[in-house]
Amino acid sequence: MVDVKGLWKDWRLHTIVLAVVVITELIGNYEFAVGPGVVVLLPMLYAIIIGIILYFTPAIKEKQAKHAEPLIVLGVLLLIAKIGVVIGPSLPQIIAAGPALLLQEFGNLATILFALPIAIYLGLKREAIGMTHSVAREPNVGLIVDKFGFNSPEGRGVMAVYIFGTVFGAIFMGLISGFLATITPLHPLSFAMASGIGSSSMMAAASGSLIAAFPNFETDIIAFAGASNLLSLSTGLYMSIFIGLPLTEKLYQIITRRRHKEEA
Amino acid sequence: MLKNIQEWILLLSIFGILILLGNWLNYEIVPLSAIPGMIVLIGIALLGLVIQKMLPINLPTVAYVAIIGILISMPWMPGSERIVEWTSQIELLATTTPILAYAGISIGRSWADFAKLGWRTIIVASFVLLGTFLGSALIAEIILRVQGII
């Protein structure tokens, strides 16, 4: 557990966050149409952006930014507690949907088939393996650094996607999930399960947009997204070790060998 | 340990106040009717923290918190209706705003690294997230349809 000693005394930080919460919640949800789809903007998205901007103002000093990090963990515990008490009563439905929940975890591997060819096409070398073998959250970064080293091309690749996800992941997921769920024929519950990719903030942003777009499914969306996220958190690393990484390396070899042949 | 518990309670209460405020301003649930639910959520988080510290097994705190939350709200658990009724007064989206406000402030520190990422990284990383999301949604859709759930 991270050290949170004395952090409650940083009143400067808490007061600023209080102001951010008041402003963003008063603005409230905002939806707009893009073609046939709907993009949902939620207070949490404004909150991240305002937070990042505040970092560059004198209001936030380096100390506050350092203090904020361990507090996220405590906040996430309350989020998970809330998700837990939504999952509990929905347990019969979740058990009924168990096969879909388990199998959609393999959908995380789709990123390899989807993103690896693009990375290689853009001219990236072994960085591509680190970048596309998984969604690059903490356990995956650990795996790659452990196997290839921090300063290897693979290590740099996984760190790059990790940084992207940290800064932009929740914003990105919040923007695309409501939009995709409104323009594709797929059911909101399928997207709810897909929201659980193993990062609490990305899951919250993705499922939050779904809830705003489909309020009638609120409870089911939270329960399925939360259950899927817990599954991803507990299986994600093993998925990478046993399937994701070997598959990425194999596919990398196949694609680059073919390109070399064509060039020769 | 006692000192730790005190600090946790203080910080979770700060979050509690922020959440109650957002819950009130955006979702129009008056704090008075949301307080019991908030206390339950803080209690679950605190219990998870304490159990994690006391048990020798190295499981992350979120795992304990999730398990406790699910156990006390299962339909087979006596008194679960009360827990569900109270906590239903806390909107999920009200809990996420303060978390992401703190996150944004702390993300500022990673901004310099982010700005250094090339355009190729940004394209590939976007497809990584998009691929995971669409891949999982497609599989879920197929299985849920086969099962006749949707």
Query: What's the confidence (pLDDT) of residue A1?
Result: 53
Query: What's the confidence (pLDDT) of residue B54?
Result: 93
| Chain A residues closer than 8 Å to B12 by CB | 74, 77-78
Task: Identify whether the C-beta of residue A124 lies closer than 8 Å to the C-beta of residue A131.
Answer: yes
Query: What's the confidence (pLDDT) of residue A259?
Result: 79
CA distance A120 to A64: 40
Are the beta carbons of B95 and A79 separated by less than 8 Å? yes
Query: What's the confidence (pLDDT) of residue A2?
Result: 59
Are the beta carbons of A84 and B69 separated by less than 8 Å? yes
Domain ranges in chain B? Answer: 2-113, 117-150
pLDDT digit string, tens, across residues A134-175 = 999 999 999 999 999 999 999 999 999 999 999 999 999 999
Of B12, B111, B124, the CB nearest to A78: B12
Q: Does A8 touch chain B (CB under 8 A)?
A: yes
Least Cα distance to A186 among A35, A83, A37 occurs for A37
Domain ranges in chain A? Answer: 73-263
3-class secondary structure, A39? strand
Please tell me the distance in Å from B32's CA to the nearest CA on chain A: 18
Q: Does A258 touch chain B (CB under 8 A)?
A: no
Query: What's the confidence (pLDDT) of residue A52?
Result: 96
Q: Is the dihedral of CA A61, A67, A72, A77 positive or negative?
A: negative
Query: What's the confidence (pLDDT) of residue B2?
Result: 86
Are the beta carbons of B103 and A72 separated by less than 8 Å? yes
pLDDT digit string, tens, across residues B71-117 = 999 999 999 999 999 999 999 999 999 999 999 999 999 999 999 99
Are the beta carbons of A75 and B95 separated by less than 8 Å? yes
Look up residue A4 and give its DSSP letter. -
User: Which regions of chain A are under pLDDT 70?
Assistant: 1-2, 264
Please tell me the distance in Å from A48's CA to the nearest CA on chain B: 4
Q: Does B98 touch chain A (CB under 8 A)?
A: yes
Least Cα distance to A15 among A64, A77, A73, A72 occurs for A64
> How many Cβ pairs within 8 Å bridge chains A and B?
417
Are the beta carbons of B134 and A194 separated by less than 8 Å? yes
Query: What's the confidence (pLDDT) of residue B59?
Result: 87
CA distance A170 to A120: 26
pLDDT digit string, tens, across residues B12-40 = 999 999 999 999 999 999 999 999 999 99
pLDDT digit string, tens, across residues A12-26 = 999 999 999 999 999
Task: Identify whether the C-beta of residue A136 lies closer than 8 Å to the C-beta of residue A161.
Answer: yes
Q: Which one is predicted more confidently, A129 or B59?
A: A129
Q: What is the mean pLDDT of chain A?
A: 94
CA distance A195 to A226: 8
Query: What's the confidence (pLDDT) of residue A61?
Result: 96
List the beta strands (DSSP E) in chain A.
30-34, 37-41
Query: What's the confidence (pLDDT) of residue A31?
Result: 92
| Chain A residues closer than 8 Å to B103 by CB | 48, 51, 68, 72, 170, 201
Query: What's the confidence (pLDDT) of residue A261?
Result: 79
- Residue A57 φ/ψ region, left for φ over 0, alpha for ψ in the -120 to 50 degree band, beta for the rest: beta
Q: Is the dihedral of CA A74, A219, B73, B58 positive or negative?
A: negative
Inform me whether the pLDDT recorded for B127 exceeds 70. Answer: yes
Of B98, B123, B136, the CB nearest to A118: B123
3-class secondary structure, A264? coil
| Chain B residues closer than 8 Å to A20 by CB | 97, 101, 104
Angle at A46 between CA B38 and CA B102, to 5 degrees: 55
Are the beta carbons of B73 and A89 separated by less than 8 Å? yes
Q: Does B32 touch chain A (CB under 8 A)?
A: no
Q: Does B40 touch chain A (CB under 8 A)?
A: yes
CA distance A165 to B126: 9
Nearest CA in chain A to B4: A5
Task: Identify whether the C-beta of residue A78 lies closer than 8 Å to the C-beta of residue B19.
Answer: yes
